[in-house]
Amino acid sequence: MILVTGGTGFIGSNIVAALVARGDKVAVCDRHLDDGRAAHIAGLAIEHRVPADEVVAWLAGRDDVTAVVHMGAISATTETDVDLVLRTNVWLSLELWDHCVAHAIPFIYASSAQVYGDGALGFADDESQQAMAELRTITPYGASKLLFDRLVIRERESGRPLPPQWAGLRFFNVYGPHEGHKGGMMSVIAKTYPALAAGEPIRLFRSEREDYPDGGQKRDFVHVADCADVVLWLLDNPGINGIFNLGSGQARTWLDLAHAMFAAMEREPAVEFVDMPQELRGRYQYFTQAEMNKLRRAGYDKPFTSLEAGVGDYVRGYLARDGVPG
């Protein structure tokens, strides 16, 4: 049985669905087992539902968990309660890591492209302590993910026991079904769809840098189904260990994204630019692009969904059907 933390969340629920679809037994851990997010796993054959505050004790009493996929985290880049972020994103992660070491089971966890800060030092998933020490994060969330990555590598370099398989995934700009609960942290696709469906223009941030035109800021957009597939591939290849970027490997502009949305909705593009909110100034990434050679060298050879195909599927297959973010 595979335990998925954050299993009613965005990436977690898609991983749960993919595991169940192929016949794996799954236990779901989350703080949202009894609210609207539970709809993300409704109808799935879940073996156990574990409240987040009870997961460590629950694990201690079982010997049938064969892997932990740890997607649970406070992922809001605007969260400023550092103690809360550390308790959730670092200390709990260490407890789960220790369990996997003690019981010799795989541990796959969510890191983030936020570890790269503003991207000035590039996006190489270099595991060396020296390379990670040079990174400068710009949010408490990013700092917490970088800290845990560094703690994992410290464990390896110290010669202490490790899980038989461990892998950290630095997710880039993930989009797709089941992100509606994320509020302001939803993808622009989900966030703007209702207005676009009502005939309004899409509103994008003006650039505050001379080297990027308005709408020319670039991100590495990756479909959540691709992320779930990589997790399943790791579970099927227990000899693969390390920290890996997980994006499409191709940076695209916000205007590219907007045009893909309008094409999926069969509308002529209509774009307006607005000033960037004060809380994002100085913490906004103008360019992200995952270097994917490391994951490719490890053996993952499937193509990633193109932006046009992924946005088209999301808009027509989910958003247009439900009328709200999927």
Of these residues, 25, 109, 175, 182, which one is catalytic? 182
Q: How far is CA 159 from the centre of its chain?
A: 29
**Active site includes 25?**
no
- Residues 320, 265: contact at Cβ < 8 Å? yes
Other beta carbons less than 10 A from residue 89's beta carbon: 25
How far apart are alpha carbons 55 and 72 in whole angstroms?
Answer: 11
How far apart are alpha carbons 322 and 319 in whole angstroms?
Answer: 5
Q: Treating both helix axes as pointing N-terminal to C-terminal, what angle do 10-21 and 224-236 enclose, rounded to 10 degrees?
A: 50
8: Cβ contacts below 8 Å, ≥ 6 apart: 28, 30, 32, 33, 37, 38, 40, 41
How far apart are alpha carbons 59 and 250 in whole angstroms?
Answer: 39
Other beta carbons less than 10 A from residue 274's beta carbon: 10
Other beta carbons less than 10 A from residue 169's beta carbon: 23
**Active site includes 182?**
yes
Instruction: Determine the number of helices (DSSP H) and then strands (DSSP E) in the chain.
Output: 12, 13
How far apart are alpha carbons 244 and 152 in whole angstroms?
Answer: 13
Closest C-alpha among 30, 141, 31, 32 to residue 79: 141
Of these residues, 141, 193, 314, 318, which one is catalytic? 141
Give the active site residues.
141, 182
